[in-house]
Amino acid sequence: MNKIKLIAINDSNRASLEIYHKLRENAFTKDNSFIADSPKVVNILLKTDIEVKSILATQEYYDEFEELISLKKIPELFVIKKDEMEKIIGHKIHHNCMMHGIRPDDTSLENMGENIIMLDEITSTENVGSIARSAAALGVTSYMLPKQAPHPYSRRALRVSMGHISKLHVHIYDDIFFTLSSLKADGYKIFGAEVTKNSTPLMEVKIPKKWVLLMGHEGKGLSEEIIEMCDEVVEIEMMDDVRSFNVGIAASILMYQFKNSTNRI
């Protein structure tokens, strides 16, 4: 194995590190650059086909993961002391590496898998990340989000997903009504997650081969107009005095049942 070549950095304001200063939570450049941090997230991404432009890390990180890093052709490997890295981030950190990568292209609707988790008006970056992590763990490999939502490759969503967003087919849509109509025309059954008078209890839902599980806004849920677009509305059975779950928890429960139910058609 060839020893990796490191570029020593003594000044965090060096021009070549501008991208690490520039990119915050939901910021991306025209070439779809993103920043990931922490060894767990970075190492998962290194095992994918994602294009990596550079790594910024301490000597300890390179010493521990040299073999993994050497398997991928990375143009620039910056080595820096932790206190200089903290100047870039602006606060104390518990990790010792960051990565500059390029987001993969969106997957087209035609190439999404048979089972899709879809978000409507989601606002929380943490929820976007946690749902991605649960989807990857449960084998729901396709993830659809609205254009106005936090992007799943934003730093915090990446961190919450532990980098497992890289295992999913991601599609960012503009118009939910057009998108739902297109999915239905392609044979998907649309299940809206909402508590209504006519909701089907989760344990009674009959699962088809191709399905979309649609989750609504954290507070408002799904609108009446969106519910009308759904083929069926499903609710998780709960105690009478507790009528809602966090959307990330609800998505996990629903995905687990949809993937593992024996009640299929």
pLDDT digits (tens, 9 = 90+) for 71-95: 999 999 999 988 888 877 777 778 8
With a cut of 90, say whether residue 166 has pLDDT above it. yes
Rounded mean pLDDT, 169-189: 97
Residue ranges of domains in the chain, CATH in brackets: 6-102 (3.30.1330.30), 109-263 (3.40.1280.10)
With a cut of 50, say whether residue 1 has pLDDT above it. no
Q: What pLDDT score was predicted for residue 24?
A: 64
Residues in CB range of 132: below 8 A, 6 or more apart: 143, 152, 157, 160, 161, 164, 165, 168
* 25-68 tens-digit pLDDT: 566 667 899 999 999 999 999 999 999 999 999 999 999 999 99
With a cut of 80, say whether residue 15 has pLDDT above it. no
Report residue 161 CA to chain centroid gap: 6
Neighbours of 17 (CB within 10 A): 22
| Residue 57 host element (H or E) | strand 51-57
| pLDDT level of residue 170 (50, 70, 90 thresholds) | very high
Strand order of the sheet with strand 115-119?
169-173, 142-146, 115-119, 211-215, 189-193, 232-235, 200-201
Q: What pLDDT score was predicted for residue 25?
A: 58
- How far is it between the farthest Cα atoms of the chain? 65
Token pair recorded at residue 152: 């799943």
**Distance in angstroms (rounded) separating the CA atoms of residues 27 and 162:** 19
With a cut of 80, say whether residue 240 has pLDDT above it. no
Please give the residue that has the higher pLDDT: either 115 or 240.
Answer: 115
Rounded mean pLDDT, 252-265: 93
Contact at 8 Å (CB) between 255 and 136? no
Strand spans (E) along 107-241: 115-119, 142-146, 169-173, 189-193, 200-201, 211-215, 232-235
What pTM was estimated for this model as a whole? 0.90
**Alpha-carbon distances, residue 30 vs 34, 84, 145 (angstroms):** 10, 27, 20
Please give the residue that has the higher pLDDT: either 248 or 11.
Answer: 248
Please give the residue that has the higher pLDDT: either 245 or 137.
Answer: 137
Distance between first and last Cα of the chain = 52
Is residue 32 left, alpha or beta, with left meaning phi > 0 and alpha meaning psi from -120 to 50?
A: left
Token pair recorded at residue 133: 């992590």
Comparing 20-29, 122-131, 134-143, 150-159, the range with the smallest average pLDDT is 20-29
Q: What pLDDT score was predicted for residue 196?
A: 87
* 186-208 tens-digit pLDDT: 999 999 999 888 899 999 999 99
For residue 253, report the phi and psi dihedrals to the nearest 5 degrees.
Answer: -60, -45
